[in-house]
Amino acid sequence: MGASKEMFIDMREREFTINTTLKIKGFNLIGLENSLRHDFNVIDFKIIADTEKLYANDEQFKKLVKAKKEATKNCELYINRNNE
């Protein structure tokens, strides 16, 4: 049993907020940002620091990442239970 045609049309007209993380070469960065800003309502666009070495070598950072992940999970669960 799938979604009805009406549900599909309603979903197509609804506005969604999404978050995605990409790895991209620097020479493509400006073009991507310009394209996104031209076609969408961009709320945030930022470069994320490379923390691979920090995570591999710093136990305190690992604890912070774990705590952040748990807090994000709890926040999302709360939102999904209480946001209509």
User: Which two structure tokens, joined as six digits, stand for 47?
Assistant: 């470069």
Tell me, what's the pLDDT at 65?
97
DSSP 63: H
In one letter, which amino acid is 29?
L
Report how far Cα 21 is from the mean position of its chain's Cα atoms. 6
Return per-residue pLDDT of the chain as tens, 84 residues.
Answer: 566 777 777 778 888 999 999 999 999 999 999 999 999 999 999 999 999 999 999 999 999 999 999 999 999 999 999 987
Round to whole Å and give the CA distance between 84 and 69. Answer: 24
pLDDT at 3: 65
Do residues 36 and 45 touch, judged by C-beta distance below 8 A?
yes
